[in-house]
Amino acid sequence: MIYLASTSPRRKSLLKEAGICFRILKPDYDENPNLKGTPSCVVQIHAVKKVESCQKKIKSGTILAADTIVYHQGKIIGKPKDMKDAHFILGKLQGRWHLVYTGVAMFWIVSGRLTKKIVFSEKTKVRLKPLTSKGITNYFKKVNPLDKAGAYAIQSSHGGIVEEVKGLFSNAVGLPIELIFKKL
């Protein structure tokens, strides 16, 4: 059995679309926004901590967790604190390239014991369309930015603010499903 250590609707949707049967486990871990390190390292640490917080909840199975951040101009950008922060973040990203990193952790548990562990990250390059302040406000009327790294939803048909993607689209959504298939 595969367990997804996440409450993200985007991750649930990606697994369902891929035809993977799974159950949900709610991680008992809050991401540390002050964690230092490379973007790749930070998302991997968060993903591992999410799996570890769920490890004792099952006897046997594979636990999968992920963490996604945006990286722009040497800074890690997570989820906005509020709408003002979301507007500021999207204002910085609009019309520019940035990187989306997703860290993935998969732990295989047999009879309550960890038997195998895979941790990796993937990076996707994304460019948003140029947006005015009014355009950003209108976009937020259609898409809630508060639970999304970078304050936008790449998969959303509302507003279509993504201009170009280089790399795995699924990774920019929050789960590099093609790589997970290979690892499973």
User: Which residues are known catalytic residues?
Assistant: 67
* Cα torsion angle, 28, 32, 33, 38, sign: negative
DSSP-derived pairing of the beta strands 113-128 and 97-110? antiparallel
DSSP, res 60? S
The single residue listed with the structure tokens 């604190």 is 81
Whether residue 96 contacts residue 170, with contact meaning beta carbons closer than 8 Å, is answered with no
Output the CA–CA distances (angstroms, integers) from residue 45 to 51, 95, 97, 162, in the order listed.
Answer: 10, 30, 25, 28
CA separation for the pair 63, 48 (Å, rounded):
10
Output the CA–CA distances (angstroms, integers) from residue 40 to 50, 122, 137, in the order listed.
Answer: 16, 8, 31
